[in-house]
Amino acid sequence: MATQDRVEVHTSRFWALFHGDFKQLFFPDRMIADKSTGITWKTKTRWYLRRSKKDLTLPHVFQVDTDTTSLFWGTTVTVEGSGGVDPLKIHHLSGRKADRFVDTVNEWIGK
């Protein structure tokens, strides 16, 4: 498998449509992993578009894991950092995209 320098996942808009979560429909949560900068988690917190962003550099990533709670769009990606940093989580992902994200980041960190 050829490695890439950047991989990204976002909350399923299909899930948001059927659950009436219009903020997630128009502004889905995103988690971006870049080989040179690390992992960035972005979300819009309110309708007035206040943005929240958390970063974790790649050398500080301890573990990346998935948790599947339902058959469709029930996958959660959790990125745990070393040193007591709060984990970064993104919910309601497609399983295939979440697995690709986790496999790529684990390859980068050597797990």
Report yes or no on 67 lying in a domain.
Answer: yes
How many domains would you assign to the chain? 1
**Within a domain: residue 49?**
yes
Residue 24: inside a domain: yes
> Model pTM greater than 0.75?
yes
Domain for residue 76, yes or no? yes
Q: Which residues are 68's β-sheet partners?
A: 75
Report yes or no on 50 lying in a domain.
yes
How many other CB atoms are there within 10 angstroms of residue 109's CB atom? 13
Give domain status of residue 1, yes or no: no
In the chain, the amino acid numbered 29 is D
CATH of the domain at 36: 2.30.29.30
97: left (phi over 0), alpha (psi -120 to 50) or beta: alpha
Tens of pLDDT, residue by residue over 10-64, are 998 888 888 888 888 888 999 999 998 899 999 987 766 788 899 999 989 999 9
Count the Cβ atoms, other than its own, within 10 Å of residue 47.
10
Domain of residue 34 covers 6-109
Q: What is the pLDDT of residues 78-100, one digit of tens each?
A: 999 988 788 999 999 988 899 99
Closest CA to 87 of 105, 104, 58, 63: 63
